[in-house]
Chains A and B, each alone.
Chain A
Amino acid sequence: MNGSEFLFLLTGLKWTLFLSAIGFVCGAASGLGIALARTSGIRPLEQATAGYIALFQGTPLLMQLFVVYYGLALVGLKLDAWLSVAIGFTLHASAFLGEIWRGSIEAVPKGQTEAAKALSLGYVSRMRDVILPQALRISLPATIGFLVQLIKGTSLAAIVGFTELARAGTIISNQIFKPLLVFGVVGVLYFLICWPLSLYGARLERRLAAASH
């Protein structure tokens, strides 16, 4: 593998990071909405979001990408591969983050809600100033864990035909016929991104566990 081939892998890595960032940021925004709807106390809303979450947790990410990819084309949206993949990851992330944050919101002691209500805080202020900051702290290890899953998951965009790191690896491997070397390097690149995040998540988890004892 020469320099230009390695550079091609790095270009793929750039797209992997870009795709992960888009999926995570947009997924976080809509995931927050889903978590709030899921804990809203309004039955139809809760059931709808529970169904949405179950749908995404019970099917393979690859199928979700396929359905979004072909589904968007169906409704007449002629989108770039990367845009439809980004939408797919956003939906995927919104369901998983929604579920993680639902758990965290429910893990905040009930007394906090009661106290906020007793102080006659409205819903917005109660959530924004009292519940969510505490829920965020609780959710952080799981959220980072999911971010790692998402980064690894973006490799499936390769199967849909989007050239990120894994597909860049396939292309180079087909060119130079050294699949072990190429996929070894690709694996190391993923590892270098994901491992520090995993370590950070584990550290936060230990700290959180120590704090709650």
Chain B
Amino acid sequence: MNYKFDFGPVIEGLPDLLWGCLGTLGLALAGMVLALVIGIGGVVLRDSPYRGLRWLVIGFVELIRNTPFLVQIYFIFFALPLAGIRLDPTPTAIIALGVNGGAYAIEIIRGGVQSIGKGQIEAGLALGLHKGQVFRLVVLKPALRAIFPSLTSQFILLTLTTSIASAISAYELTSVAQNIENNTFRSFEVYGVVTLLYLAMSWLMMRMFAQVTARHFSYPVK
């Protein structure tokens, strides 16, 4: 092996790469917010009395979960203009991420809601809590506790998925890396460093969520 490593271009491009990291995190965050909205709406529709709506949600979830994100993002990228919606690649990517994450969020949130037994609610009411209290203390908090780990790992997965948004050249880390690579041909160095940046981001997120879990969602030890 007589290859000479040259990290010069990477070091020079480091500010750009760090901005790319912010782009990635922003994309993931916006996508996750949209995913949660779709998730909550989906759960409400999924358990609605109308059979048509229920099947629509089930079909949506199965369709999204059994097709690749790359195909979804291409489809949305080409479908939006036809529907008369002209968006830049980055908002388009947010929509694609939200739709994709939403399908998984529906399943996760639904699991959390179902984990609250009906008896719990009845017990809360019997204890004289009013409806708002029952919802907040008996339904919401235990449900959040139940779904928080899955939701946060879904969030991290979504963050890693944003790299595919480079296929429609949305602004995020991978497309920044591709630009640097195109200009310098230091492919291995660039992608190696970028891989480590992704690793750092997902590690930081994991630590942060673990902290939140420990502080807000753990049962008192006694």
Chain B proximity mask over A132-164: 1 for CB below 8 Å, otherwise 0? 000000000000000010001101101100000
Binds A, one of B32-40, B91-99, B122-130, B197-205: B197-205
16 contacts between A and B (CB under 8 A): A58-B198, A58-B203, A59-B160, A59-B195, A60-B162, A60-B198, A64-B195, A70-B187, A70-B191, A73-B188, A148-B66, A180-B79, A180-B82, A183-B71, A183-B75, A198-B62
Would you call A18 an interface residue if the criterion is a C-beta within 8 Å of the partner chain's C-beta atoms?
Answer: no
- A194 and B64 alpha carbons, distance in the complex (Å): 11
Contact residues in A for B74 (Cβ distance below 8 Å): 166, 169-170, 173, 179, 183
Would you call A66 an interface residue if the criterion is a C-beta within 8 Å of the partner chain's C-beta atoms?
Answer: yes
Contact residues in B for A71 (Cβ distance below 8 Å): 188, 192
Contact residues in B for A173 (Cβ distance below 8 Å): 74
Would you call B144 an interface residue if the criterion is a C-beta within 8 Å of the partner chain's C-beta atoms?
Answer: no
Would you call A44 an interface residue if the criterion is a C-beta within 8 Å of the partner chain's C-beta atoms?
Answer: no
- A4 and B69 alpha carbons, distance in the complex (Å): 26
Using a CB-CB cutoff of 8 Å, which residues 163-213 of chain A contact chain B?
Answer: 166, 169-170, 173, 179-180, 183-184, 186-187, 190-191, 194-195, 198
- A191 and B70 alpha carbons, distance in the complex (Å): 13
Given A180-B79, A194-B66, 11 additional A-B pairs, CB 8 A: A54-B199, A60-B174, A63-B163, A63-B195, A67-B191, A152-B67, A155-B70, A166-B74, A179-B74, A180-B78, A187-B75
Query: Could you tell me if B163 and A60 are in contact, using CB atoms closer than 8 angstroms?
Result: yes
Shortest Cβ distance from B189 into A: residue: A70
CB distance from B195 to the nearest CB of A (A): 4
Contact residues in B for A169 (Cβ distance below 8 Å): 71, 74
Query: Could you tell me if B191 and A59 are in contact, using CB atoms closer than 8 angstroms?
Result: no
Would you call A124 an interface residue if the criterion is a C-beta within 8 Å of the partner chain's C-beta atoms?
Answer: no
Would you call A115 an interface residue if the criterion is a C-beta within 8 Å of the partner chain's C-beta atoms?
Answer: no
Shortest Cβ distance from A75 into B: residue: B1
Give chain A's interface residues, CB within 8 Å of chain B: 54-55, 57-64, 66-67, 70-71, 73-76, 148, 152-153, 155-156, 158-159, 166, 169-170, 173, 179-180, 183-184, 186-187, 190-191, 194-195, 198
Would you call B219 an interface residue if the criterion is a C-beta within 8 Å of the partner chain's C-beta atoms?
Answer: no
- A195 and B64 alpha carbons, distance in the complex (Å): 10
Contact residues in A for B150 (Cβ distance below 8 Å): none
- A159 and B164 alpha carbons, distance in the complex (Å): 9
- A70 and B178 alpha carbons, distance in the complex (Å): 13
Instruction: Count how many pairs of residues, one from A and one from B, have CB atoms less than 8 Å apart in the complex.
Output: 111
CB distance from A99 to the nearest CB of B (A): 13
- A66 and B190 alpha carbons, distance in the complex (Å): 10
Chain A proximity mask over B76-107: 1 for CB below 8 Å, otherwise 0? 00110010000000000000000000000000
Closest 8 CB pairs of A and B: A155-B68, A60-B163, A179-B78, A194-B66, A152-B68, A70-B187, A58-B202, A70-B188
**Interface residues of A: mostly helix, strand, loop or mixed?**
helix
CB distance from A145 to the nearest CB of B (A): 10
- A27 and B79 alpha carbons, distance in the complex (Å): 36
- A187 and B105 alpha carbons, distance in the complex (Å): 21
Contact residues in B for A166 (Cβ distance below 8 Å): 68, 70-71, 74
CB distance from A24 to the nearest CB of B (A): 16
CB distance from B78 to the nearest CB of A (A): 4
Shortest Cβ distance from A193 into B: residue: B66
- A74 and B63 alpha carbons, distance in the complex (Å): 40
- A54 and B79 alpha carbons, distance in the complex (Å): 37
Shortest Cβ distance from A65 into B: residue: B191
- A169 and B164 alpha carbons, distance in the complex (Å): 16
Contact residues in A for B79 (Cβ distance below 8 Å): 180
Interface centre among B62, B63, B70, B160 (most CB of A within 10 A): B70
